[in-house]
Amino acid sequence: MEKLNIALVDDCPTDLFVLSRHLNETGNFNLVLVAMNGADFMTKLEREKPDIDLLLIDLRMPILNGIETIKILTKSKISFKILLISHAFYSSALNELQENGIRNYCRKSITTILATIPLVMKGTSIYKDLDQLKNWEELSHDKALKGQDEGYWRNDLSPTDLKIIRLLAKGKNAKEIAAVLGYEASSIEKYRTNLLKTLELKNACHLVSWGFTHGLMNGTDVFC
């Protein structure tokens, strides 16, 4: 059996490592491209021009998510198949996929992915009936799978941390942020220092850039 050339796109280092390892261990795939988000993938695709048979792409990612990337790809002349993956089921994602002529969407589980890949490559429908999707949707609620689709770094940040990053992006200084949140300015400075240390960033500008990169806010949030 000829090996399939796989491109894997996922912003979570843990998921990226686990999926890469299991795909390699099967001996059926060549991992020809790995990227952390859609924008990273598009850049590498243009620059490296790898021979890809199948793109495995995560749904929820910063900068350019799975759906946005797929929309761009479907407007281009691509020869490879696409499989969108996520831990939880999102009906809106499936609807958007279908609007772009794609139905390949499955749970981010190596067992499910390995079972789904042959169907995708054959062009066969993944789901025999809607009960399978219903089961995935129920499992998403029961097991709180949506939390696994959030950025891995979110577990390290408190709601106050996130508010401070967004307020910094709006150009507010420590004193102004303190007034908004009901803290002392010195406390805001400590929060900011801890954020820089936790995220291994250099300064407030670097922190704001990080916030935009990881989808904490967009231009509308900041300038409107």
Domains contained in the chain, CATH given: 4-149 (3.40.50.2300), 157-223 (1.10.10.10)
pTM for this model (two decimals): 0.68
Q: What separation, in Å, do the N-terminal and C-terminal C-alpha atoms of the chain show?
A: 55
Question: What per-residue confidence (pLDDT) applies to 106?
Answer: 93
What digits encode the pLDDT tens for the residues 141-190? Answer: 666 666 666 655 555 677 888 899 999 999 999 999 999 999 899 989 98
Amino acid identity at 33:
L
Question: What per-residue confidence (pLDDT) applies to 156?
Answer: 66
Question: What per-residue confidence (pLDDT) applies to 92?
Answer: 83
On average, the pLDDT of the chain sits at: 86
Residue 109 has pLDDT above 90, yes or no: yes
User: Considering only 27-31, 32-36, 104-108, 133-137, which range has the smallest mean pLDDT?
Assistant: 133-137
Distance from C-alpha of 39 to C-alpha of 47, rounded to nearest angstrom: 12
- Which residues are registered as beta bridge partners of 5? 30
